[in-house]
Amino acid sequence: MAFGNQRTVGSPASLAGTSLHTGQAVTLTLRPAPADYGIKFRRVDLPDQPFISADVEKVQTVERATSLAEGSVKVHTVEHILSALTGMGVDNVIIEMDANEPPIGDGSAAPYVQLIKQAGVVEQDAPRRYWEVREAITIENKNGSILTILPSKKFRVSVTCVGPENRITQYFDTVVNPETFEKELAPARTFTFYEDIKPLLEKGLIKGGSLENAVVIRGDELLSKEPMRFANEFARHKAMDLIGDLTLSGKPILGHVIAIMPGHGPNTELALKIKNAYKQMQMMAPNPINVPYGDAVLDVNEVMKLLPHRYPFLMVDRIIGFEGESKCRGLKNLTMNEIFFQGHFPGHPVMPGVLQVEAMAQVASILMLRQPGNANRIGYFMSADKVKFRRPVVPGDTLIIETEMIKMRGKIGQAIGRCLVNGQVTAEAELKFGLQDV
């Protein structure tokens, strides 16, 4: 999945067909939506044409498909269209339907990929906001499903599915982007076991189902209107469903999902856990730091007048606040261009802890050098005590560096410092300096 700005469809585009469970004729239309709008369904067949957000908190049922509801308004079997939108990189769109369920097509996401390509995908003037997984999130249920999402700089899915009595064991893995989604995931069709659908058929349900839009497994026999599209088509379809269900978490994901026996129930449970983890991260900083991007207290040129450090060892982009003569707050924007990311765990780049200590020392030095009589001096490290590293700092983070001078005697100073990202402490230390004349 490409980094960059948000995207929507370029123009309206429609797809007509039959819904799977009700057998109703339905037309689905994609319409452009503004930046930060998200994905919303609209039931144009109902009075007032109500909207339902593609939100895991709206999930009503997960049996055989994922269904959303808000009040009495419902939409069923949303996973294929949501998967196609995510796979093709669409962030904001209105999905209009004149029935309660999208057309099933051939049981895959391929018709929706073609619909999105027909509408076109256009970039918007707003950055894409990802949920980057920092710590493993896992769910497990009594049926044997285990889903884990691990830190990764890309959105990757690894899926294995096992059928009843171990009749089917397949595996599939890919990094998800528009190219891989269209070729490797979208064509994989819905499959079902005959013993599961026989009671439904007898009750007159799944009226739109046929061998033209599903593969039916009866014993060791595969019932289908065409040959299998992939040797592991079932695992691919499970991965496609998983992507659609995780779309309900609300943001594009940077993480590696490893799924054993996924299904709509465990998929949406993981989506909810991801969304709650994001909420918790935001709540952990009840008084977020207001970073003055326009008017810094000291910009980088003024910082360099006080400090002798230069690239690549200047660890402060600007000073964003002083409190009296004893406290100072600095800021460092971290990008993948930082030289230390190139060699420090290049597969999973992390800012070295010692450089966070150096950042604290530089901000504390600015405090000392602003004291009367300390101009034209240089601060040198004497010691660092009680150093603790709490969380990794990675490309894209904004590092806030806070220091407080607790003792200053002559040319010797002591300070405490800490580094934070999103209000969470990443490192802290007690520092001692000595000043020397230039």
The CATH number linked to 390 is: 3.10.129.10
Give CA–CA dist 264/404, Å, rounded: 51
For the chain, the domain total comes to: 2
Of 220, 250, 283, at which residue does a domain stop?
283
22 with 133, same domain? yes
110 with 237, same domain? yes
CA proximity to 359, closest of 302, 401, 405? 401
256 with 225, same domain? yes
Give CA–CA dist 78/95, Å, rounded: 10
Q: Is residue 17 part of a domain?
A: yes
Q: Is residue 400 part of a domain?
A: yes
Give CA–CA dist 94/52, Å, rounded: 10
| pLDDT for the residue numbered 176 | 97
What number of H helices and E strands is found in the chain? 8, 25
Q: Is residue 203 part of a domain?
A: yes
269 with 304, same domain? no
Q: Are 96 and 31 in contact (CB under 8 A)?
A: yes
Q: Is residue 399 part of a domain?
A: yes
260 with 223, same domain? yes
Spacing of C-alpha 395 from chain mean position: 15
The CATH number linked to 148 is: 3.30.230.20
Of 258, 283, 308, at which residue does a domain stop?
283
Q: Is residue 293 part of a domain?
A: no
| pLDDT for the residue numbered 433 | 82
Cα–Cα distance list, 282 to 278, 279, 423 (Å): 6, 5, 9
Q: Is residue 294 part of a domain?
A: no
138 with 83, same domain? yes
| pLDDT for the residue numbered 206 | 54
Q: Is residue 369 part of a domain?
A: yes
Q: What b-and-e string marks burial along 343-377, b requiring 16 or more CB atoms within 10 Å of the CB?
A: eeeeeebebebebbbbbbbbbbbbbbbeeeebeeb
Q: Is residue 161 part of a domain?
A: yes
Catalytic amino acids?
Answer: 264, 344
The rounded average pLDDT for each run of 10 residues, N- to C-terminus, in the chain (438 residues) is: 79 91 86 95 95 95 88 93 97 96 91 97 90 89 93 94 74 97 95 61 50 66 78 94 96 94 94 88 49 60 87 91 84 92 86 94 85 71 90 92 87 90 92 80
271 with 305, same domain? no
208 with 346, same domain? no
| pLDDT for the residue numbered 51 | 95
Q: Are 42 and 32 in contact (CB under 8 A)?
A: no
DSSP 8-state assignment for residue 365: H
Of 254, 283, 312, at which residue does a domain stop?
283
* C-alpha count within 13 angstroms, C-beta hemisphere, residue 44: 12
253 with 318, same domain? no
* 3-state DSSP percent of the chain in helix, strand and coil, to 5: 25, 35, 40
191 with 83, same domain? yes
| Owning domain of residue 360 | 300-437
69 with 206, same domain? yes
259 with 369, same domain? no
Give residues with Cβ within 8 angstroms of 170, minimum separation 6.
160, 161, 231, 232, 234, 235
Give CA–CA dist 30/115, Å, rounded: 8
